[in-house]
A and B are shown apart, each in its own frame.
Chain A
Amino acid sequence: MTQSNAAPDVAAGRLSDEEYARNFADLHPLLDPHEARVEADRCYFCHDAPCMQACPTSIDIPQFIRQISTGNPTGSAKTIYDQNILGGMCARVCPTETLCEQSCVREVAEGKPVKIGQLQRYATDHYMSTNDKTPYTRKAASSKRVAVVGAGPAGLACAHALAVEGHDIDLYDARAKAGGLNEFGIAAYKSVDNFAAREVDFILSIGGITLKAGQKLGTDIHLADLRSQYDAIFLSIGLGGVNDLGLENEAKDGVLNAVDYISELRQAKDLSSLPVGKRVVVIGGGMTAVDIAVQSRLLGAEDVTIAYRRGQDRMNASEYEQHLAQTNGVKILTWAQPKGLVAQNGHISGIELEKTRETGGALKGTGETVTLPADMVFKAVGQTLVPAVLNGSGPAPQIEKGRIVVDADRKTSLDDVWAGGDCVLGGEDLTVAAVEDGKIAAAAIHRALSA
């Protein structure tokens, strides 16, 4: 047992300005034109390409790569945007190693897939650096009005597609800025240079979308009112709640929700103003756990451990993300679940972890414990839908397993309400899947409004 009696060491400004800049630089720098052409030339332009099948938004990958190879990056970007208007962000955050690049025939043949994600970024960055607006023009005004609630990936994709069809959109978001997790979640080194906000501007440039920020569903706006004011509603409200550990001392200083801290980090003008513990323990096994663990290290934490209750192969974070954590010096402690939080003088000082074992699919504590000293403990054990925001004077959409139930068209149990993104049942918890939800719902809403 290595319990520390020292005062908690939580401090800002652990690094020099250069170190912050270096640590939070672009994870994958943009390919230069020659690199892009050479990489594009590796694509075999497969028939009925497996990569395209693997893309949740069905981007015509061989086509956009061929367009890079022929010296037509603008056309390439349009091919991407035709299926995924958030192609720029998806190029940065998609777990390509388990999607398109996993099914690339060159991955199968030689273990070296075409770098589809980086090529997609090359094309979309080229487009955004040479154009002010999306490549689409709106059709004639339909005089139909749609409320999109939540300006994350699903809401943005839905709003853009409906705007193209000539409908007028009010895009609500609880936060002061649009973008959702693109702006407030995901790791900073995946979206440098204010990309999330620039992409929002790019999408809104289509026209016909009025952003109404700082309007929280259930507080400032209500579903029943929206239904009476609009022809259709799209809910893309994400998961507003976070799971607790259910342990004593959870409210003590130094115990934080990972998503809150990441949100603060993403909005920080000066990273050196962010206090971070010298010793950090992260509870969880998903992308958020990796994001907070790696960023803690990059902010100067000396000792960062991810504690996950099952084996590494069961972590929701992709293998690539796990490697990223480990190459950044994060320890991944598996088969360990939180048992108790140790606090001193109102501040967390350590976490007691119990070893676990899985028997017959059930996870059980073995009774063996270890206590890690910790100046900060981050909770990254999942987020939840807050169903209360859907309640009000009128009926709420059907909820199951804590998520909104939708059909194949992303329609809820309410006739004029569609939903997509993380808040719906059966979602994949991926940006690209949220975009596809928004796209499908927009097509269904347009059909309904045109009927």
Chain B
Amino acid sequence: MADLRTNFVGIKSPNPFWLASAPPTDKAYNVVRAFQAGWGGVVWKTLGEDPPVVNVNGPRYGAIHGKDRHLIGFNNIELITDRPLEVNLQEIKQVKRDWKDRALVVSLMVPCEEKNWIDILKKVEDTEADGVELNFGCPHGMSERGMGSAVGQVPEYIEMVTRWCKQHTRMPVIVKLTPNITDIRKPAQAANAGGADAVSLINTINSIVGVDLDAMAPTPTIDGKGAHGGYCGPAVKPIALNMVAEIARDPVTHGLPISGIGGVTTWRDAAEFMALGAGTVQVCTAAMTYGFKVVQDMIEGLSDWMDSSGYTSIDQFVGKAVPNCSDWQHLNLNYIAKAKIDQDLCIKCGRCHIACEDTSHQAITSMFNGERHFEVIDEECVGCNLCVSVCPVENCITMEAMEAGSIDPRTGKKVDPTYANWTTHPNNPMAVTEAAE
């Protein structure tokens, strides 16, 4: 069995699966159940100053479902903890005392004044928690009060608060970023400049999860009105992966530890975040959908995959896919692929044909010799992968790379074995003579 232990900015946990700062980590009762179920760590639900905030007394959550009520996306308008600060601190202290081998990080959000941060950091230090996570991400409610994503959207504030925190505590400082910005590298660079030990991302995405067409109001609806919430769950994973990769690739922040968050539901999701540079992952929606038991297969699945892939420790694959994250302009334009349909697997639904015929390149037949038959027309196929994406049968349609030296029937040209990208392409007005990689 592979070694799943992680050491993330000095915070040790038996596995890389942490629960994100959210309802599942709001109190000792839940956190203890999570640790009993096997979670490697938790980020305690965000503490603020007393008096505690209040939540709405109507619905806080909304969801996007598949036809079988499979939860695809999740939305919330819950605020930070609504329990008194002292209660949370006492519980944190007790839980950490009882569960020394697990990571216990405390999420924080107080107004942007140095004194406020000094005060709360001191209180958290007394609990002997392993670290703090600065919540610069919540996009609803708190942001209206100048906190959460209102801070995370201003790199100068991020840097300022991060610096205060680094000055006033010995605990590792993780900065949690909001995705509600145009370029995730800027807030990450600011956190880095402020001395952050790590960043964690993504927090939730501004969202209206749906509209009640009878009430003509957004959902969830509270007395006839709705407010935007934060979107998370499986649907946001691709957005989160890109943002994690952006930070991992950026020369300024390359090597800055990342705790990956956003739709992690399975061990494979976690492995993908880690391949893009995340040292740990944080999970919320999967736990809120299925309960804490989901961590068991996350642990076993990751371990089994590591065994079968020859990895014995987490470090061996964290960030391993980062060098292969490129920009469009550097992709090899001499690489040519064609779709190929496995006729034995084909169930003749015709979706590849109609997708290609109506919306793409007219490169798949529907009839051949009077028979219902779907076959790629290599003369037309641009290798776009749409047919692969819409085919209901796994591996029925595959993209096959053409051999160098063979003739591409679409262009009539020989497949060039050399690498050439847009930077040197004759159609590029800015073309240079030698390709930049």
Contact = CB atoms under 8 A, between A and B. Distances in A.
Interface of A: 34, 37-38, 40-41, 44-50, 69, 105-106, 108-109
A38 B70 CA distance: 11
Contacts of B353: 47
Interface in B278-336: none
Contacts of B366: 47-48
A344 to B, nearest CB: 60
Contacts of B69: 34
Nearest to A43: B349
B5 interface: no
A49 B354 CA distance: 11
Interface in B336-352: 347-351
Q: Which of B68, B349, B354, B392 has the most CB of A within 10 A?
A: B349
B67 A106 contact: no
Contacts of B66: 41
B372 interface: yes
B351 A46 contact: yes
Given A37-B67, A105-B347, A44 B392 contact: yes
Interface in B370-419: 372, 392-393
Nearest to B345: A109
Contact of B348 (A34, A40, A45, A50): A50
Nearest to B352: A47
Contacts of A106: 347
B67 A47 contact: no
Interface residues of B, number: 15
Contacts of A108: 347-348
A47 B349 contact: yes
Contact of A46 (B68, B350, B393): B350
A47 B66 CA distance: 23
Nearest to B390: A44
A34 B68 CA distance: 7
B276 to A, nearest CB: 32
A109 B347 contact: yes
Contacts of A44: 349, 351, 392
A8 B348 CA distance: 58
Given A47-B354, A47-B366, A48-B366, A41 B67 contact: yes
Contacts of A49: 350
10 contacts: A37-B68, A41-B68, A44-B351, A46-B348, A47-B349, A47-B351, A48-B350, A48-B372, A105-B348, A108-B348
A37 B67 CA distance: 6
Interface string B135-162: 0000000000000000000000000000
Given A45-B351, A48-B372, 18 more contacts: A34-B69, A37-B68, A38-B68, A40-B67, A44-B349, A44-B351, A46-B350, A46-B351, A47-B349, A47-B366, A48-B366, A49-B350, A50-B372, A69-B67, A105-B347, A106-B347, A109-B347, A109-B393
Nearest to B348: A105
Contacts of B347: 105-106, 108-109
A25 to B, nearest CB: 27
A39 to B, nearest CB: 9
Q: Which of A44, A49, A69 has the most CB of B within 10 A?
A: A44
Nearest to A37: B67
B397 to A, nearest CB: 14
Contact of A47 (B68, B350, B392, B393): B350
A15 to B, nearest CB: 39
B377 to A, nearest CB: 16
A37 B350 CA distance: 22
Interface in B36-76: 66-69
B68 A105 contact: no
Contacts of A50: 348, 372
B362 to A, nearest CB: 13
Contacts of B349: 44, 46-47, 105
B363 to A, nearest CB: 14
Contacts of B354: 47
A260 B350 CA distance: 47
B210 to A, nearest CB: 12
Contacts of B350: 46-49
Nearest to A39: B67
A38 B66 CA distance: 9
A105 B351 CA distance: 12
Contacts of A48: 350, 366, 372
A34 B67 CA distance: 8
Contacts of A40: 67
Nearest to B69: A34
A41 B67 CA distance: 6
A109 B347 CA distance: 6
Top 9 nearest A-B pairs (CB, nearest first) are A47-B350, A41-B67, A47-B354, A109-B347, A46-B349, A44-B349, A105-B347, A105-B349, A38-B68
A108 to B, nearest CB: 6
B72 to A, nearest CB: 13
Contacts of B393: 109
Nearest to B393: A109
